[in-house]
Amino acid sequence: MQSIERPADIIAKTASNDGIVKNAWYLAAWSDEVSQELLPRRIAEEPMVFYRSSDGTAAALLDRCPHRKYPLSAGKLDGDLVQCGYHGFRFDTDGTCLSVPGQVKVPLSANVRSFPLVEQFGQIWVYPGDAALADPAKIPHVPWTSEWWSTTGLSPLNARASLLIDNLLDLSHETFIHPGIGSPEVAETPIEVERDGDVLWVRRKMYGVACPPNYAKSSGLTSPIDRSQEIQFFAPGFYVLHVRVAAAGDTGPGHLSKVVYGITPETKHTTHNFYGICRDLPRDPHKRPFSGQRITVQEDKEALERLERALVADPDNVPEVSIGIDRGGLLGRRMIADLLRKEAQD
């Protein structure tokens, strides 16, 4: 394990970039989004169609028929076969073309690309790059705490993925963008940063600080509280925030929650923002404990789409100014730049 404490060591000169790592696993859907309907979704610039066969197995094919390039998602499922909606070529879950109209012989080149796919913990992961390099052991292994109350969602983001990663690795912005969870101390408290291989940790611990409105509402706490944020980032696109809040000085477990983000590039300038949250509460059908999280996601969306428009409208080569709170974000950029460099060499 390598401890990183000196900003000068970790300054990645890369500004928020639009490079996309292809040789990586990405969260592509929550399990309940994929059914025996054809679901088109672009992942890391690859058009894909997702569906389940009759035994429940999920599959992802290139959403482009090899015949005349019609989107397969505009066809239909005939049993377990995808039938192209233009001239009826039929494909199995591996992408093998099993029949074409008007002849018995099926050309080998009629097969369509299928993508490596793994389903776990209610998450569907795909590998858009070189399938020979797809090692399922590299998928972030973050089970939901099943007895906790949880919810998931998908917020389309019209901004490049690196802006959302910057945002999530530097939570000082909570003070200025999120009145429900921010307080002055978030921006004022220094962070600790640590890289452990492909995983980055960013930690902030606050003692005797103000209780923001959302925590007062969800946990019944009043100021002052102790509050910790421990970020676990799996480059290039998965993120878990471990949160603890408790009455100041309380050494018990406190109130715990996990916030998860799958940050999946769609194109160079659009991103699938998969978010989920779980709390150490039993499910209660009469309460809605996650409305604050949806507001937080929306507040970030508005800010990041504004930033994306500004970057596109007025590009310049002036280096950004970085300060101590940026150490996590800068190291995250470095990790992604390393992956892009490695991919270029593979």
Q: Which residues bind ligand FES (CB under 6 A)?
A: 65, 67-68, 70, 84, 86-89
Of residues 23 and 293, the one with the C-beta less far from Fe ion: 293
Of residues 67 and 204, the one with the C-beta less far from ligand FES: 67
Of residues 71 and 179, the one with the C-beta less far from ligand FES: 71
Residue 320's CB is within 10 A of a number of other CB atoms, namely 11
Six-digit token string for 90? 């039929």
Stretch that binds Fe ion, among 35-43, 84-92, 255-263, 292-300 (CB under 5 A): 292-300
Six-digit token string for 45? 């610039």
- Residue 70's binding partner, choosing from Fe ion, ligand FES, none, with beta-carbon cut-off 5 to 8 A by kind? ligand FES
Cis peptide upstream of residue 236 (ω within 30 degrees of 0): yes
Stretch that binds Fe ion, among 10-18, 142-150, 300-308, 312-320 (CB under 5 A): 300-308
Smallest gap from residue 82 Cβ to ligand FES (A): 10
Of residues 300 and 308, the one with the C-beta less far from Fe ion: 300
Stretch that binds Fe ion, among 55-63, 138-146, 182-190, 298-306 (CB under 5 A): 298-306
- Residue 43's binding partner, choosing from Fe ion, ligand FES, none, with beta-carbon cut-off 5 to 8 A by kind? none
Residue 174, helix vs strand vs coil: helix
* Short-list 336, 105, 85, CA closest to 234: 336
List Cβ neighbours of 131 (8 Å cut-off, separation of 6 or more): 115, 116
- Residue 68's binding partner, choosing from ligand FES, Fe ion, none, with beta-carbon cut-off 5 to 8 A by kind? ligand FES
- Residue 89's binding partner, choosing from Fe ion, ligand FES, none, with beta-carbon cut-off 5 to 8 A by kind? ligand FES
- Residue 300's binding partner, choosing from ligand FES, Fe ion, none, with beta-carbon cut-off 5 to 8 A by kind? Fe ion
Of residues 48 and 154, the one with the C-beta less far from ligand FES: 48
Rounded Cα distance, 4 and 10, in Å: 8
Smallest gap from residue 71 Cβ to ligand FES (A): 9
Residue 191, helix vs strand vs coil: coil
List Cβ neighbours of 152 (8 Å cut-off, separation of 6 or more): 30, 122, 274, 275, 276
Q: Verify binding: residue 308, Fe ion, rule CB under 5 A.
A: no
What is the full DSSP assignment across 308-328?
A: HHHHHHS---PPPP--GGGHH
Six-digit token string for 181? 């969870």
Burial 175-202, CB ≥16 within 10 A → b, else e: bebbebbbbebbeebebebbbeeebbbb
Size, binding site for Fe ion by CB under 5 A: 1
Rounded Cα distance, 156 and 297, in Å: 10
Q: Which x/- pattern, by CB under 5 A, does the window 248-287 give for Fe ion?
A: ----------------------------------------
Rounded Cα distance, 254 and 272, in Å: 32
Of residues 84 and 263, the one with the C-beta less far from ligand FES: 84
Of residues 106 and 240, the one with the C-beta less far from ligand FES: 106
Smallest gap from residue 240 Cβ to Fe ion (A): 15
- Helical residues (DSSP H) of the chain, grouped into ranges: 7-10, 161-169, 174-177, 184-188, 213-219, 291-313, 327-345
Smallest gap from residue 85 Cβ to ligand FES (A): 7
Of residues 84 and 277, the one with the C-beta less far from ligand FES: 84
- At residue 29, what are phi and psi to the nearest 5 degrees? -170, 155
Smallest gap from residue 70 Cβ to ligand FES (A): 4
Smallest gap from residue 66 Cβ to ligand FES (A): 8
| Binding residue for Fe ion, selected from 92, 266, 300, 326, defined by CB under 5 A | 300
Rounded Cα distance, 339 and 198, in Å: 10
Six-digit token string for 209? 């600080």
Six-digit token string for 222? 């009043």
Of residues 75 and 332, the one with the C-beta less far from ligand FES: 75
Contact set with Fe ion (CB under 5 A): 300
